[in-house]
Amino acid sequence: MWYQWEKTEHNRRSAMHATTRIFSIGFVLLTAGLLGGCGSAPVREVTAPRISTGAAYRVVQIARHQVGAPYRYGGDTPRGFDCSGLVYYAYHRAGIDVPRTTRQQLRYARPVSMSRLKPGDVLFFRVSRRKPSHVGIYIGHDRFIHAPSSGKRVSYASLDNPYWSERVVAAGRFQHQ
């Protein structure tokens, strides 16, 4: 009987010791994790300087007024637009100088994550080449305005459409100069 009590008492103490040890290890790990977070610089997305909200609104409104204009390769007037010509025209009319071609616009725009898009930002797509070859103006709610291709007209499109969501490769924001 004495032996049975001693064995039971030993098992109880071992279980308590194991529980205490697990709790202690967990506490140490939790504390180290919290302190480790304090010791390192927080990861923060750097956003580019942005054009004023009023200018971004003007860019979107100007682009909206061009919906229905014909596509024309090399075009940057209401008589006909290609994709980068539409971006160039809308920004230029809003008083913001941006480059003329998609490739130059991609280089000039400050990168923006898709989760931080704002109306007036630009979206770049890889359509038929290895490099981005198409651009549109983001207008909010996962929609954008663009000059799609020959035979079509300036129109609205959605990032909810798998064709566009699979091809978007970058987003950018132009700064006011």
Q: Which residues are catalytic?
A: 83, 134, 146
CA distance to 24, 151, 166, per residue, from 162 (Å): 50, 22, 6
Distance CA 65, CA 139 (A): 13
Q: Name residue, tokens 């480059």.
A: 99
Distance CA 31, CA 158 (A): 46
Q: What's the CA dihedral at 64, 121, 88, 59 to 10 degrees? A: 40
